[in-house]
């Protein structure tokens, strides 16, 4: 048997339900069965996953695997992009927020996810850059999206997606619409929005499906979903109906494909980048890095 190939694995132990040591043994065993030696590092605080990848994913490493929530994947990919990583990245979803994992159809059982990585194919998928920061599947502002970084981790763990839904419902009555001017280079959308989400995913906040058969995670395009402020409860119901029916050519609900966008927001609202807080600016710049990540699954 030849020399082992090496996996650098970064684990966020605080993402979602803590997995037992046995889970890690199972995963490392799966990798070993396929000829990989695994070097494991744990994150302790926000930012660690990116820093650990930058530090450890050198020439001796053949694959990066991250285990955690979508935020952990975001960080691992940010770190990988920073060091010009060209080899594959694997993702073992273990957090409460796994919209992107769900989008990819990754198994929720960590051992199965590890097996899928070993038997998988590297695929080039797009990455988004928002105000200079890497994100994988969503940069959003408004309804549903404040929740992902404002809901304390302990509640996220306990409630999972329910937290999003409850917070979302609370937002419906308490929400202050956000004035924005969204310039896609082809069209300008202007007004009061309750949700603006730049995304490359089939699922948003665990509650909204964008699977209308037209979404492709590697087409070099992201979608911008814009929901305008309804004037009354009747309009709100219409907007919800439009979402359910995926009628995106609606007065209140639009979905457009973009390669880049400039989003002007005078109130400098914060954004959520894959569930992590992104500080708001008056002028927000978004662009797609076509095929910016090589994910294996």
Contact by Cβ (8 Å): 69, 94: yes
The reply on whether position 259 binds Mg ion by CB under 5 A is: no
DSSP category for residue 277: E
Nearer to Mg ion, 52 or 273 (CB): 273
Tell me the β-bridge partners of 295.
89, 123
From candidates 200, 201, 203, 254, binder to Mg ion by CB under 5 A: 200
Quote the CA–CA distance of 105 and 113 in Å, as a whole number.
Answer: 10
From candidates 112, 219, 238, 287, binder to Mg ion by CB under 5 A: 219
The reply on whether position 221 binds Mg ion by CB under 5 A is: yes
Q: How far is the CB of 266 from Mg ion (least distance, A)?
A: 29
Q: How far is the CB of 221 from Mg ion (least distance, A)?
A: 5
Q: What is the DSSP string of 158-211?
A: HHTHHHHHHHHHHHHHHPPPEEEEEE-SS-EEEEEEEEEEEE-SSEETTTEE--
Q: How far is the CB of 218 from Mg ion (least distance, A)?
A: 7
Nearer to Mg ion, 19 or 259 (CB): 259
Contact by Cβ (8 Å): 297, 104: yes
Q: How far is the CB of 235 from Mg ion (least distance, A)?
A: 29
DSSP category for residue 280: -
Termini Cα distance of the chain: 25
For residue 15, give both structure tokens. Answer: 């993402």
DSSP category for residue 249: B
DSSP reduced 3-state for 136: coil
Q: How far is the CB of 243 from Mg ion (least distance, A)?
A: 19
Q: How far is the CB of 126 from Mg ion (least distance, A)?
A: 6
The reply on whether position 129 binds Mg ion by CB under 5 A is: no
Nearer to Mg ion, 72 or 201 (CB): 201
Contact by Cβ (8 Å): 193, 227: yes
For residue 286, give both structure tokens. Answer: 């978004």
Nearer to Mg ion, 211 or 216 (CB): 216
The reply on whether position 287 binds Mg ion by CB under 5 A is: no
The reply on whether position 38 binds Mg ion by CB under 5 A is: no
Nearer to Mg ion, 8 or 202 (CB): 202
- Which positions from 68 through 97 interact with Mg ion, judged by CB under 5 A? none
Q: Where on the chain is the footprint of Mg ion (CB under 5 A)?
A: 200, 216, 219, 221
């Amino acid at each position: 048997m030849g020399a082992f190939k090496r996996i650098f694995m970064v684990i966020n132990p605080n993402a979602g339900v803590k997995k037992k040591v046995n889970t890690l043994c199972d995963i490392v065993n799966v990798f070993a069965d396929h000829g990989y030696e695994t070097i494991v590092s744990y994150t302790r605080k926000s930012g660690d996953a990116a820093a650990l990848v930058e530090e450890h994913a050198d020439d001796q490493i053949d694959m990066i695997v991250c285990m955690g929530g979508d935020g952990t994947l975001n960080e691992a990919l940010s770190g990988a992009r920073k060091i010009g990583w060209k080899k594959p990245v694997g993702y073992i979803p273990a957090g409460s927020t796994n919209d992107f994992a769900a989008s990819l159809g990754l198994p929720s059982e960590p051992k199965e996810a590890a097996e899928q990585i070993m038997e998988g194919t590297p695929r080039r998928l797009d990455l988004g850059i928002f105000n200079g920061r890497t994100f994988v599947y969503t940069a959003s502002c408004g309804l549903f999206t404040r929740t992902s970084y404002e809901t304390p981790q302990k509640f996220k763990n306990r409630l999972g997606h329910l937290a999003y839904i409850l917070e979302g419902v609370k937002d419906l009555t308490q929400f202050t619409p956000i004035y924005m001017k969204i310039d896609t280079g082809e069209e300008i959308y202007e007004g009061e929005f309750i949700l603006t989400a730049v995304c490359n995913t089939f699922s948003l906040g665990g509650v909204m499906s964008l699977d209308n058969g037209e979404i492709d995670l590697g087409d070099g395009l992201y979608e911008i979903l814009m929901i305008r402020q309804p004037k009354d409860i009747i309009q709100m119901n219409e907007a919800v109906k439009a979402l359910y029916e995926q009628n995106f050519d609606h007065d209140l609900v639009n979905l457009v494909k973009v390669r880049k966008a400039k989003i002007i927001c005078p109130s400098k609202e914060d954004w959520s980048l894959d569930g992590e807080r992104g500080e708001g600016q008056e002028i927000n710049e978004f662009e797609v890095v076509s095929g910016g990540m090589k994910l294996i699954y």
